[in-house]
Amino acid sequence: MASSPWGTSPATLADVLPSVAASFGLDQRNPLALAPNRDVVVLLIDGLGAELLARHRDSAPTLAAHVRTTLTAGFPATTATSLASLALGAPCATHGIIGYSFALPAGDRLRLLNALRWNLDGATGEDAREAYPPESVQPHTSRLEDLAAHGVELHYVIPAYQRTSGLTRAAFRAPGTLHAATTLDEVRTGILAVATHSGVNSRFAYAYFPDLDANGHLYGPESPEWLAVLRDIDACLAGLFAELPATCTVLITGDHGMIHADTVIDLDARPALHRDVRLIGGEARVRHIYLDRPEALADAHSAWTAELSTHATVVTREQALDEHWFGPTPPTPVIASRIGDLIAVAEGTAVLVRPALEPLESALVGHHGARTSAEQLVPLITTP
């Protein structure tokens, strides 16, 4: 396996839909070498990390037996960024959803956009869909729109609320038939409804299941609660594989892995980290630091590096872009401005929390976002 800056797989989550498009005859480039079929479903299991699956293959024998390859989620390894990378077939330097939360201009000041929930200033802030229309924040054509233009019927097997969410509007963009699904049984029923038809027209469905990630955050990855969900997923998919017609290919992957936090760094308890700082975005494993003035960059870099010591790597925006952290193609100035003047990436199992401003996120046990293989690597699982 070739190496990358993170020591991970050369294939990425952004390669999935270009390969699907190629299997439908849209593109020549087919990085995952997917064979043509009438219908294709991509099922994203939130939080399904490749290393976690490999360690617990006894709890998920069906999934483990059908791993085709390992993908890299891309930096940062977080849901909002990964879903956009999947839907656009491009990394975040191109699509601009550069993290869990990031700064956007608001007149002569900046405000944080929580891209996962599309709220302002935090997870429980006001709805941002009017102030920052998702189609403007992320204006590029998605691969689903390309499929629809080619005559492929689009379907969504997702929780009903997601269909009009800001993130769905920003990333997936295309209308399609909704099969509302919050439980595993509903996911299986929805996928079979897409795949079981007598028509000749091709169908593509995006399906999503969140509970593995939720239990990992609340109880920790590899906890009894997390393992119970993994076993349920595996049993559901074993049944789905047995019922699925040969005319449908199902691809199963994750958006990130997860680590169990052992070292908690309270950023707000360290005054040196707030000198000349306007906003702190991102999440506990990856922080974007926005400064009041450009002249403060060197001092702020020194302060954050000294305070966080071995718990985090702190780099400037310029270094991150020079090293292609956010993708191989340079971002536009608009997207580059969303990246912090400094980026602090947690190392090991450390987390960089803000309990007063982010009480929900700071109380979590499982986290993701950074550069470790535990967070970056996700499996690509295919039907038999």
Contact 107, 289 (CB under 8 A): no
Helix (H, G, I), strand (E, B) or coil at 290: strand
Q: Which residues contact 242 (CB under 8 A, 6 or more apart)?
A: none
Supply φ then ψ for residue 137, to 5 degrees.
Answer: -65, -35
Q: Are 367 and 220 in contact (CB under 8 A)?
A: no
For residue 127, tell me if it sits in a domain: no
Q: What is the pLDDT of residue 107?
A: 87
Overall pTM > 0.85: yes
Q: What is the predicted pLDDT for the residue at 108?
A: 86
pLDDT digits (tens, 9 = 90+) for 210-235: 999 999 999 999 999 999 999 999 99
Tell me: do 249 and 281 sit in the same domain: no
Query: CA 97, CA 108: separation in Å to the nearest integer?
Result: 22
User: Looking at the structure, do residues 236 and 283 belong to the same domain, yes or no?
Assistant: no
Q: Are residues 47 and 92 in the same domain?
A: yes
Provide the pLDDT for residue 8: 46
pLDDT at res. 4 = 37
CATH for 34: 3.40.720.10
Q: 340 and 308: one domain? A: yes
Q: Is residue 85 part of a domain?
A: yes
Residues 155 and 252 in one domain: yes
CA 22 to chain centre: 23
Residue 292 lies in a domain: yes
| pLDDT for res 10 | 81
Distance CA 227, CA 225 (A): 5
Strand 109-114, strand 101-106: pairing: antiparallel
Give me the domain span that covers residue 297: 262-363
Q: Which amino acid belongs to residue 318? A: E
Strands 286-291 and 377-382, bridge-based pairing: unpaired
94 CB neighbour count, 10 Å cutoff: 22
268 and 241 fall within a common domain:
no
Residue whose structure tokens are 């996700």: 378
Which position has the token pair 């401005």? 337
Q: Look at residue 164 and tell me if it is in a domain.
A: yes
220 inside domain: yes
What is residue 2's predicted lDDT score, i.e. its pLDDT? 31
Please check whether residue 251 is in contact with residue 35, taking contact to mean a CB–CB distance below 8 angstroms: no
User: Is residue 127 helix, strand or coil?
Assistant: strand
Angle at alpha carbon of residue 376, lines to 371 and 378, rounded to 5°: 175
| 266 and 253 share one domain | no
Residues with pLDDT less than 70, the chain: 1-9
Tokens representing residue 351 in the block = 């987390």
SS3 of 223, please? coil
| Domain harbouring 307, CATH code | 3.30.1360.180
What is the biggest distance separating any 2 CA atoms in the chain, rounded to whole angstroms? 66
Query: Who contacts 108 (Cβ-Cβ below 8 Å, separation ≥6)?
Result: none
Is there a domain that residue 8 lies in?
no
Instruction: Retrieve residue 99's tokens.
Output: 């993290």
- Give the Cα separation of 285 and 56 in Å (integer): 24
Q: Work out the number of other CB atoms within 10 angstroms of the CB of residue 135.
A: 12
Integer CA distances (angstroms), 163 to 2, 103, 123, in order = 37, 25, 19
* Residues 300-338 pLDDT 10s: 999 999 999 999 999 999 999 999 999 999 999 999 999
For residues 82 and 212, state if they share a domain. yes
Q: Which residues pair with 346 in a beta bridge?
A: 312
The pLDDT of residue 9 is 54
Identify whether residues 219 and 300 lie together within a single domain. no
267 and 248 part of one domain: no
Residue 269's pLDDT is what? 95
- Do 79 and 154 share a domain, yes or no? yes
Q: Are residues 249 and 299 in the same domain?
A: no
Assigned domain for 130 exists: no
User: 202 lies in a domain?
Assistant: yes
- What is the predicted pLDDT for the residue at 7? 40
Specify the number of domains making up the chain.
2
Q: With left for phi above 0 and alpha for psi between -120 and 50, is residue 153 left, alpha or beta?
A: beta
